Structure 1
Amino acid sequence: MSTALFLSPHLDDVAFSCGGTLARLKARRWKIILATVFTRSVPRPTGFALACQTSKGLSPDVDYMALRRAEDRSFAAWMGVDELVWIDLPEAPHRGYHSPGALFAPPRTDDDIIPTLEDRLSLLMEDVRPDLVFAPQALGSHVDHVQLVRTLPSLNIQVSQILWYRDTPYAVRQPQAKPDYSLPDGLRPLALNVTEEMSRKVSGCVCYRSQIPFQFGGEAEVASTLETFHQQEAADYGQAGHAEVFLARSNFESEWRDRL
């Protein structure tokens, strides 16, 4: 059995960005491991951190991250994820990023999360020994996505083992957004057809109910937004149906075609 490790900065990024591919590999009997980095509950949040939950209609006494972990658990059950991992690091609003603008600015010089992240992910890699790793491109430049992507080169993962996914819905809102500079040179787009998996992907995304109004405008818009986006992604690469697009080493498809 081949093993795929999906790395998610937040509790929803993999679902929104490459949930169709996750479902596709699961149907092909891959072992699926979903690991999310920034999942820690922080008691009694204040300021911008508190606003991140109250702006979504949640009262200050709600454990926001516990709620989101429960949503992640529902997604994992729906998609048949074999192992769910929460790396238990604090999100950016708990690391000194005090405004929406700061989340999309370059990382703070006093944000020392990378050494801890390197240690945690190194242990995960040793334990899991995945055949294939899915990681974000950091489109949109959210600092949590950026810090995860910039950790990868230290993990000694072969470039031939990584597919970098297009962070969604950032890719919907900012179609010209560029990947983070830390990605290797010479990568090429790879479009995987997920037409058969779209319904399952949409249902999985809806598991993250606390995020849907903010990210998509409401549950009714999830299907139309994602179906339109993935149809365009397919068309951009000469395909019919729906596609999720990744960056990969130039000869990736020829080496992995029979397993994907």
Structure 2
Amino acid sequence: MPLALALSPHLDDAAFSAGGALAHMAREGWEVVVATIFTATVPSPTGFALACQTDKGLPPEADYMAIRRAEDRRACEALGAGALHLPLREAPHRGYGSAAALFGPPRSDDMAHLHAAEAIAPLLRDLRPELVLAPQAIGGHVDHVLTVRAIQLLDIRLPLLWWRDFPYTIRADTPRRPFEAMLATLPETALPTEPEAKHRACAAYTTQLGYQFGGPEGLARILAATGGQETARAQGAVPLTRAA
């Protein structure tokens, strides 16, 4: 059975951006694994990091990332995918102290891309994927940017699908495309999708729905407006579907 490995910066990015394609591949006989990079619990968060959970209605004592990891397992189950969680800290726990900072240039002292590359390398070695999926970093979120940098460091010699980062793709306030020059050389490809499975997976991230979409109804409305379509930049000979 061929294996597809999705490298997701956060616990929702793969489902939001390429969930339909991942579900379709699983249905077509692929083994699909979603490896999320920035998932570590940081005890007793303060400042902006704490606000990132309390502004979603969670009390300070809640283990926010444990809740999110559980959501991700449910989402991946809806996609027919396995879930792996890598123990790196999200940007608010690495010195980024505001929402604006999250979408600015990476800090000069932030070595998360090196740590991410170290964490991803064993997955490539042990899982032996035939296809890798990853973000384009549209919107410029620092964790997305450093995920792409980690992949560049690894120089992955495998077919790659670079997904469009949803919902940043539909937001006027996060238009940055830091890797546009690199990606412009690659053909844009419409992906075969399973919209209903994607909706179920996205809906599993209950802590994020109010902030990202205004609630479950907003999620349904925004996904419907996309028509279920997903596109990606294809690097190499990408096998979009394959039977077991």
1:223 Cα offset (Å): 1.6
- Taking structure 2 as the reference length, the TM-score comes to 0.93
Aligned to 2:102: 103
* 2:24 counterpart residue number: 24
- The equivalent of 1:149 in structure 2 is 148
- How far 1:169 sits from its partner (Å)? 0.4
Q: Which residue of 2 aligns with 1:235?
A: none
> Residue 168 of structure 2 contacts residue 175 of structure 2 at CA under 8 Å; is this kept in 1?
no
User: Which whole-Å CA distance do the structure 1 matches of 2:27 and 2:154 have between them?
Assistant: 29
Asked if 2 retains the 8 angstrom alpha-carbon contact of 1:35 and 1:86, the reply is yes
Whether the 8 Å CA contact 1:171–1:177 is kept in 2: the answer is no
Which SS does the other structure have where 1:151 is aligned? helix
Indicate if the aligned counterparts of 2:8 and 2:35 stay in contact, CA closer than 8 A. Answer: yes
Q: Which structure 2 residues correspond to residues 1-260 of structure 1 after superposition, within 5 A?
A: 1-81=1-81, 83-158=82-157, 161-174=159-172, 177-178=176-177, 180=179, 183=182, 186-194=185-193, 197-229=194-226, 231=227, 242-249=228-235, 252=237, 256=239, 259=242
Aligned residue for 1:187, secondary structure, equals: coil
**Are the counterparts in 1 of residues 29 and 242 from structure 2 also a CA contact under 8 Å?**
no
> Would you say the 8 A contact 1:9–1:148 is kept in 2?
yes
Q: SS at 2:132's partner residue?
A: strand
Partner SS for 1:7: strand
- CA drift at 1:63: 0.4
Q: How many residues align?
A: 242
| CA distance in structure 2 between the partners assigned to 1:25 and 1:78 by the alignment | 13
Q: Kindly report structure 1 stretches of 4+ aligned residues shifted beyond 3 Å.
A: 174-177, 181-185
Q: Secondary structure at the match of 1:89?
A: coil
Q: For residues 165 and 11 of structure 1, what CA distance do their matches in structure 2 show?
A: 15
Q: Tell me the SS of whatever aligns to 1:51.
A: helix
Q: Which amino acid aligns with 2:52?
A: C
Q: Secondary structure at the match of 1:190?
A: strand
**Could you tell me how far apart the structure 2 residues matched to 1:168 and 1:136 are?**
10
Shift of residue 76, structure 1, vs aligned partner: 1.8
Separation in 2, partners of 1:185, 1:226: 26
**2:200 & 2:169 partners in 1: Cα distance?**
20
**C-alpha contact 2:18 2:230 (8 A) present in aligned 1:** yes
Unaligned ranges ≥5, structure 2: none
C-alpha contact 1:23 1:200 (8 A) present in aligned 2? yes
Unaligned runs of 5+ in 1: 232-241
Aligned CA distance change for structure 1 residues 91 and 257 (closer, same or farther; 3 Å): closer
Taking the aligned partners of 2:118 and 2:184, their CA distance within structure 1 comes to 25
Amino-acid identity (%): 46
Note the C-alpha offset of 1:192: 1.5
Contact 1:149–1:182 (CA under 8 A) maintained in structure 2: no
1:11–1:69 Cα contact (<8 Å) kept: yes
Q: Write the distance in 1 (CA, Å) between the matches of 2:48 and 2:74.
A: 27
Q: What's the CA shift for 1:219?
A: 0.3
| Aligned residues of 1:141 and 1:180 also touching (Cα < 8 A) | no
Q: 1:238 corresponds to which residue? A: none
* 1:89-143 superposed Cα distances (whole Å, 9 cap, x missing partner): 0000000000110000000001111221111111111011100000000000000
Task: For residue 182 of structure 1, report the CA deviation from its aligned partner.
Answer: 7.7
- 1:49/1:182 Cα in 2 relative to 1: closer, same or farther (>3 Å)? farther
